[in-house]
Amino acid sequence: MSTSAATVPRKPTGTKLRVVLAAVIVVLLVAMGLSTKVVSIKSQVAAQPGAFDPVAYGESEFPKVQALIDSHAVDAATLAAAIAKDATAAGTKYGVPGQIGPEFSVKFTGVAEKAIFGVYTINVPGVSNTVTVRVQTGPAINGTDVRDATGTISFGQFTNQIDYQNAGSALNNEVKKQVLAKVDTSKLTGKTVSVVGAFQLVVPNSWLITPVKLQVQ
């Protein structure tokens, strides 16, 4: 048999090679798609054992914190007099250590004056007019006084700083849901209100209180 008569396999042309490669890629992509499971970030977080759930934390812990603040609340007139006399001694006697100054639980009844961005100044009988008593009613509730006022919640109870901060926000959200939602906070001016709440003493003559109880008389 002559060499010219032998059958020699022909190499795939460029077009055929591209077609074959494209078919292989399509098969691979389909296989990958069938074996891929899409998981949202939220579900990943929820599935992690021990992942912090701010909503569940706020709902479970707020009633406990509210009860503790209520039971330790000092009459505002008594507290104001003690702070005016010796702020350090007042912090030791009535408060718990805070990040900047002592955290106090306080209670009072007074008349709400005009609000500025949801913060009412309250005229409280027995409290010197040199002391400004203010109560924040939202829509934003700032600070971590509800978290910190009892002295029972600490950073060491959480995995990281983010969870610790989220715990404070979660308790503030419960203030809005369980306390402030029951009151028309846009119409408190001129009305007598009874408040139980917490604040951090940064400036002795200016208190910004986060309420855990607020009733309109």
In a shared domain, residues 28 and 76: no
- Is the bond preceding residue 139 a cis peptide, omega within 30 degrees? yes
96: which strand partners? Answer: 103
In a shared domain, residues 181 and 157: yes
4 inside domain: no
pLDDT at 107 over 80: yes
Q: What is the Cα–Cα distance from 162 to 169, expressed in whole angstroms? A: 11
Four-point Cα dihedral 120, 203, 105, 95, nearest 10: 180
Q: What is the mean pLDDT of residues 124-138?
A: 96
Domain with 19 in it: 12-49
Q: Which residue's entry shows tokens 């309109």? A: 216
Q: What is the Cα–Cα distance from 27 to 143, expressed in whole angstroms? A: 56
Task: Give per-residue pLDDT as tens, 164-183.
Answer: 999 999 999 999 999 999 99
Four-point Cα dihedral 16, 17, 18, 21, nearest 10: 120
121 inside domain: yes
Q: Residue 113 belongs to a domain with what CATH number?
A: 2.40.50.420
39 inside domain: yes
124 inside domain: yes
In a shared domain, residues 27 and 71: no
In a shared domain, residues 131 and 45: no
> Into how many domains does the chain fold?
2
Average pLDDT, rounded, for the chain? 85
